[in-house]
Amino acid sequence: MLKKRVIPVLFLKNGLIVRSQGFVDFREFGNPIDRLRRLNDWQADELIYIDITREGEHNLKRDDHKIKRMQSTLEILGAISRECFMPLTFGGRIRDFREAADYIAGGADKVIINTESYRHPELIARVAGHFGRQCMVVGIDVKRVDGRPVVFIDQGREAVRETPAEWARSAEASGAGEIFLNSIDRDGAANGFDLEIIEEVAAAVNIPVIACGGAGTFDDMAEVMQQTQASAVAAGNIFNFTENAYRRSKRELSELGLPVKPLASPVPAMS
């Protein structure tokens, strides 16, 4: 049986890690390197960084949180990739092939492209054709409107016509190697995943689906693995605010008999 992945997600806004809720409420609480080091110790299955800085707000010239002289997101990515000992996915604000190529050259193993993959699906094919479809992850943000799941782009500000399953199938046909499915409703709410939408999308495609949005307990993660065909469960806040949360998640999911990779031994400190 294929192992299910457990993936921490770190959201960047203006160069700092933030807690996100509903795509509109953000709380700064750390720099991107410190969070990475903690996850390195336990060799997380993968790590996802997403830059959610909005247009017109991007300013990395910070003197606090030990972030100095980092003048661009690419510079932050370079610092991250030099210390990251696990597969690294980077997304957010990728508008064209050149930017995707810059992120991969800068150390990302995969890129997540959301809005521009919808507006310009040929971008999916170009990235997949050049770097391999395993590098091309399509981000799909979903929110329930009058009970109906609706896909949104532009950081949750513009609804589109296709259902989540329809858009996921189109993305796969264009060359996507993976889907990152994020719930706007559940973002930061810690009230469980939207299992119905996750299963609808996972059942519609033949590529891996990463489910994100709603993890409040490790039981919430277990439900995704038990009740949907998602290949991975991703979470942000639960790993940021709970001591040793990644290690505990792996242990508890394994004790439930779920097919997760075993915990790795801590990485020895470098002398």
pLDDT tens for each residue of 168-211: 999 999 999 999 999 999 987 889 999 999 999 999 999 999 99
pLDDT for the residue 46: 95
267: in domain: no
Q: Exposure of 74 by Cβ count < 10 A (0-12 exposed, 13-18 middle, 19+ buried)?
A: middle
Quote the mean pLDDT of the chain.
Answer: 88
How far apart CA 208 and CA 171 sit, in angstroms, is 12
The mean pLDDT value for 49-64 works out to 66
For residue 266, being part of any structural domain is answered with no
List the end-to-end C-alpha distance of the chain, in Å, as a whole number: 39
Long-range contacts (CB closer than 8 Å, 24 or more residues apart) made by 261-265: 261/3, 261/5, 261/6, 261/45, 263/42, 264/42, 264/43
**Host domain of residue 192:** 5-255
Amino acid at residue number 187: D
**167 lies in a domain?**
yes
In this predicted structure, which of 5-14, 138-147, 238-247, 251-260 has the lowest mean pLDDT? 238-247
pLDDT at 28: 75
> How many domains are contained in the chain?
1
Q: Is residue 263 part of a domain?
A: no
pLDDT at site 237:
84
Q: Residues 6 or more apart from 267 whose CB is under 8 A from it?
A: 40, 41, 43, 85
Domain membership flag for residue 270 = no
Spatial separation of the C-alpha atoms in residues 234 and 9, rounded to whole Å: 6
Residue 17: predicted pLDDT: 81
Question: How confident is the model at residue 240, as a pLDDT?
Answer: 74
Q: Which two tokens stand for residue 227?
A: 């009740």
- Does any domain span residue 77? yes
Q: What is the predicted pLDDT for the residue at 12?
A: 87
pLDDT at site 2: 84
Cα 154 to Cα 105: distance, rounded to the nearest angstrom? 25
Global confidence as pTM: 0.91
pLDDT of 79 > 80? The answer is yes
C-alpha span between 245 and 247 (Å, rounded) = 5
- pLDDT the model gives residue 244: 66
Residue 220 lies in a domain: yes
Note whether residue 126 is domain-resident.
yes
What is the CATH classification number for the domain harbouring 147?
3.20.20.70
